[in-house]
């Protein structure tokens, strides 16, 4: 018997599924959007994931279809399910991750802790929300945002006029999401994995640091997290995975408020940047875990291998030369650093790789990880 996973999308998340697939002896095929993408070394097909014909032909001989991103349209997902293809996460769960308004509404039904929010379809509704929330709020486009694109802190409703205008042009119409501006002390993320047959594995809760809306670094586990905080975060992850029927990896982005409450920011139903530390810092990394989960195999141990792990993103990369040209220096100075590169062209602000360091002294781990990552940036 051989097992074959098909991944829709050729980005770095698909790329990082390749190594554990090879280790386990699982076949992995990627449907890439273009030639020479991050996961091109496993790309068996290049094509448009919006096209049901393309995705169906890609899925013909795999055991399960999974994803590098959440953007595959619902009609394509249903076509796969109708054709008898196993799809994990499934269309219903993915539909919730695809639209932040749908997500807020479903999390409310599940009784999950969230910031105050509303769906607003024009500037007067938005202004009402602002007036009720101290004059500042966060507006978000419900679909297609990433790395802080589609997120704006505003203090006047007119600051979202361009987004309302774009909505008016959009055939699907709809509304914008507005949320209270959460006074958080820090951001956390909770990873869990869930198999179709129900088993769930919960990772240690981690701290994430965002700069200009982009994840910059992750500390695992979250420093000075009380047992109560860790168990509440784990329970939130478990309840969402079960309540929404998520299969594969789920990341729950959380705000920890100054009065020690946890509020849900957003969900990702796939391996996520906040879980990259687990590749080197946990017994079972999130990419291996995702493969196990979508194939409905028993889940691996999620414990940390060391007291601390720190993951630092390489943002932008070197301007004049390549990441590889920095290898010798980084490897000489930081032999404990685990270096991951995504095969992407350096460009300002772009995530082109990350570095993880694990150990028992957090100060040293943080110093090594940051210094190693900064060697790759100009």
**Which residues belong to the annotated binding site for ATP?**
100, 140, 179-182, 187, 265-266
* 99 touches ligand ATP by CB under 6 A: no
Give the one entry of ligand ATP, Mg ion, none that residue 181 binds, where binding means its C-beta sits below a cut-off of 5 to 8 angstroms depending on kind: ligand ATP
Bind-site residues:
100, 140, 179-182, 187, 265-266
Q: How far is the CB of 264 from Mg ion (least distance, A)?
A: 11
Q: How far is the CB of 268 from ligand ATP (least distance, A)?
A: 7
* 116 touches ligand ATP by CB under 6 A: no
Distance (Å, whole) CA 164 – CA 121: 7
* 135 touches ligand ATP by CB under 6 A: no
CB-facing half-sphere around the CA of 176: CA atoms within 13 A: 30
Distance (Å, whole) CA 127 – CA 157: 5
Ranges within 323-352 binding Mg ion (CB under 5 A): none
Of the residues 51, 146, 161, 235, which one makes contact with ligand ATP according to CB under 6 A? 146
Distance (Å, whole) CA 189 – CA 180: 19
* Contact assessment for residue 14 and residue 38, using Cβ atoms and an 8 Å cutoff: yes
Q: Which stretch binds Mg ion (CB under 5 A): 107-115, 266-274, 283-291, 355-363?
A: 266-274
Residue bearing tokens 């039904």: 109
| 144 versus 223: smaller Cβ distance to ligand ATP | 144
Q: How far is the CB of 192 from ligand ATP (least distance, A)?
A: 17
Provide the H-helix boundaries in 246-377. 278-281, 286-294, 327-333, 362-374
| 212 versus 363: smaller Cβ distance to Mg ion | 212
* 136 touches ligand ATP by CB under 6 A: no
Of the residues 95, 122, 145, 300, which one makes contact with ligand ATP according to CB under 6 A? 145
Ranges within 202-221 binding ligand ATP (CB under 6 A): 210, 213
**How many residues at the interface with ligand ATP, by CB under 6 A?**
19
* Residue 121: burial class (beta carbons within 10 Å; 0-12, 13-18, 19+): middle
Give the one entry of ligand ATP, Mg ion, none that residue 362 binds, where binding means its C-beta sits below a cut-off of 5 to 8 angstroms depending on kind: none
| 76 versus 263: smaller Cβ distance to ligand ATP | 263
Of the residues 63, 99, 179, 280, which one makes contact with ligand ATP according to CB under 6 A? 179
Q: Are strands 137-140 and 151-154 parallel, antiparallel or unpaired?
A: antiparallel
Question: Which three-class secondary structure state does DSSP give residue 194?
Answer: strand
* Residue 183: burial class (beta carbons within 10 Å; 0-12, 13-18, 19+): exposed
* 190 touches ligand ATP by CB under 6 A: no
Question: Which three-class secondary structure state does DSSP give residue 99?
Answer: coil
Q: Which stretch binds Mg ion (CB under 5 A): 13-21, 25-33, 235-243, 261-269?
A: 261-269
- Nearby residues of 251 by Cβ (< 8 Å), 6 or more positions away: 189, 190, 191, 267, 268, 270, 271, 272, 274, 275
Distance (Å, whole) CA 8 – CA 110: 29
Of the residues 59, 65, 72, 138, which one makes contact with ligand ATP according to CB under 6 A? 138
Task: Summarize as ranges the residues that interact with ligand ATP (CB under 6 A).
Answer: 115, 138, 140, 145-151, 179, 181-182, 187, 210, 213, 253, 265-266
């Amino acid at each position: 018997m051989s097992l074959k996973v098909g991944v829709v999308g050729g980005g770095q998340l698909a790329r990082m599924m390749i190594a554990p697939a090879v280790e386990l002896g699982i076949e992995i095929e990627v449907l890439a959007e273009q030639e020479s993408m991050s996961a091109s070394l496993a790309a068996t097909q290049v094509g448009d994931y919006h096209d049901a014909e393309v995705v169906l032909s890609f899925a013909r001989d795999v055991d399960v279809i999974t994803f590098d991103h959440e953007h595959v349209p619902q009609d394509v997902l249903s076509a796969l399910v109708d054709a008898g293809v196993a799809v994990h996460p499934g269309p219903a769960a993915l539909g919730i991750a695809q639209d932040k308004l749908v997500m807020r509404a479903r999390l409310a039904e599940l009784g999950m802790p969230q910031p105050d929010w509303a769906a607003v379809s024009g500037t007067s509704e938005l202004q009402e929300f602002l007036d009720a929330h101290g004059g500042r709020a966060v507006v978000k486009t419900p679909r297609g945002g990433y790395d802080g694109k589609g997120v704006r802190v505003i203090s006047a409703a007119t600051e979202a006029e361009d987004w309302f205008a774009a909505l008016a042009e959009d055939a699907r119409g709809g509304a914008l999401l507005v949320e209270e501006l959460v006074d958080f002390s820090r951001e956390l993320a909770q990873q869990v994995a869930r198999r179709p047959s129900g088993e769930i594995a919960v990772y240690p809760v981690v701290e994430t640091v965002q700069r200009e809306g982009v994840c910059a670094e992750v500390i695992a586990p979250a420093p000075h997290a009380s047992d109560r905080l860790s168990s509440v975060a784990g329970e939130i992850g478990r309840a969402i995975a079960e309540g929404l029927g998520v299969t594969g990896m789920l990341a729950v982005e959380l705000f920890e408020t100054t009065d020690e409450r946890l509020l849900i920011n957003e969900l990702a139903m796939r391996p996520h940047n906040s879980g990259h530390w687990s590749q080197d810092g946990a017994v079972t990394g999130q990419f291996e875990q995702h493969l196990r989960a979508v194939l409905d195999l028993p889940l691996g141990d999620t414990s940390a291998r060391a007291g601390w792990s720190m993951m630092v993103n390489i943002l932008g990369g070197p301007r004049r030369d390549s990441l590889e040209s920095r290898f010798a220096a980084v490897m000489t100075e930081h032999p404990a650093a685990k270096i991951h590169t995504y095969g992407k062209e350096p460009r300002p602000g772009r995530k082109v790789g990350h570095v993880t360091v694990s150990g028992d002294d957090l100060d040293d781990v943080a110093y090594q990880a940051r210094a190693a990552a900064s060697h790759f940036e100009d």
